């Protein structure tokens, strides 16, 4: 039997909660277990942007058994330890605040500790950044994290695929996340020569 595929998704206080919602909806196609947490700021923005009042409401119906939800304060959660076998972590959307804390090595909650674990264990750490414009502090922090092995994936949709609705725009970004994770499932057809 193959190894159980496990991924950690952390939702932080940036705009773009719909990216997290869509990613969670598709991950059970690729992963046996998805660990999830959301910062307190993320929960506030989730309420504003999606009208949901808890992280559990973001978990897709029918596949709930694939998910484990943790408090962002829970440093006993499995992804907080390098000895727990999981493939990596996606921070989506990723605030510049959490970028700064991870870049500074501050590991005082589950999000920053697991990010630290992923870097030290050389596992995937995908930062779906949502901020614009970027100041020099953001850029230096991102450069440091990229040098340490993180994948900086700005939530920056393209338009060459001629999106017809908001879902198409969202899917473009979520598809990029799935690609860099090597998830083995896609939302968009790959680009081919015309």
Residues at the site binding ligand FMN, with contacts judged by CB under 6 A: 12-15, 39, 41-42, 45, 48, 95-98, 130-131
Closer to ligand FMN by Cβ: residue 116 or 131: 131
Q: Which residues contact 73 (CB under 8 A, 6 or more apart)?
A: 109, 110
Nearest approach in angstroms of CB 59 to ligand FMN is: 19
Q: Tell me whether residue 135 or residue 182 sits nearer to ligand FMN (CB atom).
A: 135
Instruction: State the burial class of residue 171 (Cβ atoms within 10 Å of its Cβ: 0-12, 13-18, 19+).
Output: buried
Start-to-end Cα distance in the chain: 41
What are the structure tokens assigned to 165, written together?
């609705």
Helices 17-26 + 166-181 axis angle, to 10: 60
What's the maximum distance between 2 C-alpha atoms anywhere in the chain?
51
Residue 80 or 98: the one with the smaller Cβ distance to ligand FMN is 98
Q: Which is nearer to ligand FMN, 34 or 94 (CB)?
A: 94
Find, among 61, 3, 57, the residue nearest to 28 by Cα. 61
């Amino acid at each position: 039997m193959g190894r159980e595929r496990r991924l950690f998704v952390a939702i932080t206080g940036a705009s773009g909660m719909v990216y997290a919602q869509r990613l969670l909806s598709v991950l059970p196609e690729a992963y046996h277990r998805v660990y999830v947490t959301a910062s307190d700021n993320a929960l506030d923005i989730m309420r504003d942007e999606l009208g949901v009042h808890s992280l559990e409401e973001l978990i897709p119906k029918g596949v709930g058994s694939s998910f484990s939800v943790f408090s962002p304060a829970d440093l006993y959660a499995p992804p907080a330890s390098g000895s727990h076998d999981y493939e990596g972590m996606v921070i989506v959307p990723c605030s510049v605040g959490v970028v700064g804390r991870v870049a500074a090595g501050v590991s005082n909650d589950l999000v920053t500790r697991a990010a630290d674990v992923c870097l030290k264990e050389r596992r995937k750490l995908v930062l779906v950044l949502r901020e614009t414009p970027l100041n020099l502090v953001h850029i230096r922090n991102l450069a440091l994290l990229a040098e340490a092995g993180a994948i900086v994936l700005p939530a920056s949709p393209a338009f060459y695929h001629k999106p017809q609705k908001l879902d198409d725009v969202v899917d473009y970004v979520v598809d990029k996340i799935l690609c860099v994770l090597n998830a083995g499932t896609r939302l968009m057809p790959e680009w081919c020569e015309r």
